[in-house]
Amino acid sequence: MQSEGANFLRKLPNASQKLKIFRTNSENLESFLRAIEGCNGVIIRHSVDFEDENDDNTKIQRAITAILGVLKACFDSKTIKRVIYTSSDGAIGYVTEGQDVIVDENS
C-alpha cells in the first residue's frame, strides 16, 4: 500500500525488509486476518467516515465493533505480541487554520 500517511514508517531502520503495510476493511475481518498472519505486532489506525449519513451514535458503534473485532483477531492469532492503537482524527476534531492549539492526552 502506498499511503503518504505511512511514509514515516517506511523510513524506519530495516523497514524495507521487515515492514509490510496493508489496507484492510475493519468490517471484513478476513482482510485483516490475512494481513496479520505471521506478524508479531500490529499498528491500527481506524478512521470514522464523517461523510456517512448515519447518526453519530451509529458511526461510533460501528467503530467500536470494528476495533473490538480486530483486537479479538489479534488475540486469537497467538502470534501478535503488541497492538498499538492510534486514535482516529475524530477524537480531536478539526482545528481551524491559524489557531495555535496543542491537542494531547490532557486536552
Q: Domain ranges for the chain, please list them.
A: 4-89
pLDDT at position 79, please?
A: 93
pLDDT at position 81, please?
A: 94
pLDDT at position 92, please?
A: 54
- pLDDT tens for the chain, residues 1 to 107: 455 667 888 888 998 888 888 777 767 778 788 888 888 998 887 777 767 787 888 888 888 888 888 898 899 898 999 998 877 655 555 556 666 666 666 66
Q: Residues 26, 30, 36, CA angle at the centre, nearest 5°?
A: 85
Q: Is 72 helix (H, G, I), strand (E, B) or coil?
A: helix
32: its cell numbers: 485483516
pLDDT at position 33, please?
A: 85
Q: Is 43 helix (H, G, I), strand (E, B) or coil?
A: strand
